[in-house]
Structure 1
Amino acid sequence: MNTQPQKIAIVTGANNGIGFETAAGMAEAGYHVVMACRSQAKAEAARDELIAKVPSASLDIILLDLGDFAYVQRFAEDFRARYEKLDVLINNAGILLYSAQTNGGGIELQFATNHLGHFLLTALLIDLMPDNPASRIVALSSLGHKGASIHFDDLTCGGDGGIAYGQSKLACLLFGDELDRRLRASGRKIKALSVHPGGSDSGLFTDMSDAQRSKLKAQVEQFLHSNASAAKPALHAALSPDVKGGDYYGPTGPQEMSGEVGHATRDLITGDLDVAGRLWRVSEELTGKTFSL
């Protein structure tokens, strides 16, 4: 059992891109950071790089594959075996696919990884979080949530990976909002917030062909900002004393792709409480976990 007095944060997908910079920011803020990553080798390389970047960093690695719900369960068990509390959970990891893929249970892989795995992880660990306003759960959404919908009758979105990605990131935002409403209704002080990183070449585009990647980057290159800048909304949500539960943050520059952190704009569908409630119920069914507060 870890007996460090430090505050403890989990950052999923901490080995590269925005997750790496988020882990660095949390370490700089004095948190002991648990790097939740799929690859031991990549996580260890990132840990060494983080220590070089932040010499005072206190880090741990626990392997996690969010698309495999049994793996999520094992991660939660491993975390509980090492730690007695969790102060901040940053649900950062995400995949972007341009092909139809499913997890072992036949669920569209982006929906399973980006949303359902984080839904389950949060449900399994939230009881370890101190009930105070400094305890935070941060959901990483995306500009891609705009114009998306939850295809309840076909979560594979007909095999269209781009549409499925938008669906998964809308689900992240709907979950963050609904979680905060339920925390408030239960009288809890823990804050659930959502953010989007704007535009960055964060490693999400690795499933694209070289030609697809080059074409997309040529279209948006002038709007992209660094992964360090893209991590700022999540760090603001996790660390600022001024945020409110249910807030949604992102860059405030042109097209919200870069710029100073501020309140971000949402698609109108995020205000549909029926959709949010249905998503919660479906998420419980698909993960096999009742999420009660």
Structure 2
Amino acid sequence: MTSWTALDIPRLDGTSAVVTGANSGIGAATALYLARAGARTVLACRSVERGAYILERVRAVAPGADVRLVRLDLADLTSVREAAERIGGEVDGHLDLLVNNAGVMALPLRHTADGFEMQFGTNHLGHFALTGHLGGLLGAGPSRVVTVSSLGHRLGRIELGDLNSERGYDKWRAYGRSKLANLLFTAELDRRARAAARPLTAVAAHPGLSATELGQAGPRMAGHTWAARLERASRLYTQPASAGALPVLRAATDPSVTGGEYYGPGRLAETRGAPAPAARSSRARDMVTALALWEASVELTGVDPDPAAWAAQVS
């Protein structure tokens, strides 16, 4: 097709969507476009205050939009479960679209409430568990799960015996591992949906190099104000969040998208430009590791988002 733009987003009236991390950046832009297209859109945010600000901004830009706010802390599996329960009440028993967008990047060593390395626990395990808890809603009809990865997935390696970086921690390798895990999760979710003949489209996307708040948390946590200032200056060379959201939006709304696909910006080594099919590293195509990671994630979270079981969850 010709260059895909926001004008290609179809009308979404009568559908429901959840966007994690919708309080800023790619998530906020994604939620705005979805709400403007008519979807009932749930902003799933760790910060209720920041989420409320975006909610009002969306309503100002898209009068009449049906926008809801639910608190979600992906670094706490109890919060994930509770958020999923609240989402059920907001979407009237069915969910058409889940955008697993929220994330953290290049943090100093930190741990989640459940003891997982923060980047792996938030970016992968939190979304893995959320998808599982929402299975009944997603299984109520045809649905789509979009998980946001990164160019940084190429830095990652899945070491099944050291998923929590206990043998040594490097913030960028840990980030790459979590983003590689996002792609392997998508691939295995797609495989299982096909095997179970479930009407689920599992796809992934990445925003290229986009100007967001993602790079600020790590320097602030480490007390490096100079690094935070440098990161802000680097935004002169990145595309705006509204452009970075387009691959996510194409993955979420383009009727021609099929399960297992991956989208990113189509120009300058996938750093910017209109959304197009993106390349994966060889590790991201390793289905043996995808299965092993799934099984490890089930053991760590106590949740199994296997679409084969979703029919039993539908009330």
TM-score normalised by L of structure 2: 0.87
In 1, the alpha carbon distance for the partners of 2:84 and 2:230 equals 40
Q: 1:210 aligns with which of 225, 234, 249?
A: 225
In 2, the alpha carbon distance for the partners of 1:201 and 1:153 equals 35
Q: Deviation of residue 159 (structure 1)?
A: 2.1
Partners of 1:131 and 1:189 within 8 A in 2? no
Q: Secondary structure at the match of 2:304?
A: coil
1:181-222 deviation per Cα after TM superposition (whole angstroms, max 9, x unaligned):
110011112100000010112111112233224445666743
Q: 1:93 aligns with which of 72, 80, 102?
A: 102
The residue number in structure 2 matching 1:70 is 78
In 1, the alpha carbon distance for the partners of 2:96 and 2:263 equals 20
In 2, the alpha carbon distance for the partners of 1:136 and 1:27 equals 16
Letter in 2 for 1:236: R
The residue number in structure 1 matching 2:130 is 121
Q: 1:251 aligns with which of 245, 252, 265?
A: 265
1:50-102 deviation per Cα after TM superposition (whole angstroms, max 9, x unaligned):
11122232101110000100110111111223421101000000011330001
Partners of 1:110 and 1:165 within 8 A in 2? yes
How much is the aligned-residue C-alpha RMSD, in angstroms? 1.7
In 2, the alpha carbon distance for the partners of 1:272 and 1:56 equals 45
In 1, the alpha carbon distance for the partners of 2:102 and 2:21 equals 4
Partners of 1:194 and 1:248 within 8 A in 2? yes
1:119-198 map, 5 Å? 119-129=128-138, 135-157=143-165, 158-198=168-208
Q: Deviation of residue 178 (structure 1)?
A: 0.8
Q: Secondary structure at the match of 2:155?
A: coil
In 1, the alpha carbon distance for the partners of 2:47 and 2:229 equals 27
Q: Which runs of 5+ in 1 are unaligned?
A: none
Partners of 1:35 and 1:61 within 8 A in 2? yes
TM-score normalised by L of structure 1: 0.93
Q: Secondary structure at the match of 1:193?
A: strand
Q: 1:35 aligns with which of 43, 47, 62?
A: 43
- C-alpha spacing 1:89/1:128, structure 2 compared with 1 (3 Å): same
Letter in 2 for 1:288: G
Q: Which runs of 5+ in 2 are unaligned?
A: 1-12, 309-315
In 2, the alpha carbon distance for the partners of 1:30 and 1:17 equals 21
In 1, the alpha carbon distance for the partners of 2:164 and 2:236 equals 30
The residue number in structure 1 matching 2:5 is none
1:222-233 map, 5 Å? 222=237, 224-233=238-247
The residue number in structure 1 matching 2:276 is 262
1:53 equivalent to 2:68? Answer no
In 2, the alpha carbon distance for the partners of 1:81 and 1:25 equals 23
In 2, the alpha carbon distance for the partners of 1:213 and 1:143 equals 21
Q: 2:289 aligns with which of 271, 275, 286?
A: 275
Partners of 2:155 and 2:173 within 8 A in 1? no
1:16 equivalent to 2:24? Answer yes
Of all paired residues, the percent bearing the same amino acid is: 40
In 2, the alpha carbon distance for the partners of 1:123 and 1:147 equals 27
Partners of 2:94 and 2:140 within 8 A in 1? no
Letter in 1 for 2:213: G
The residue number in structure 2 matching 1:241 is 255
In 2, the alpha carbon distance for the partners of 1:258 and 1:20 equals 19
Q: How many residues align?
A: 287
In 1, the alpha carbon distance for the partners of 2:231 and 2:54 equals 27
Q: Deviation of residue 130 (structure 1)?
A: 5.1
Larger relative contact order, structure 1 or 2 (CA cutoff 8 Å, min sep 6): 2
1:112 equivalent to 2:121? Answer yes
Partners of 2:189 and 2:202 within 8 A in 1? yes
Moved more, 249-258 or 50-59: 50-59
Q: Secondary structure at the match of 1:289?
A: coil
Q: Deviation of residue 287 (structure 1)?
A: 0.4
Partners of 2:244 and 2:272 within 8 A in 1? yes
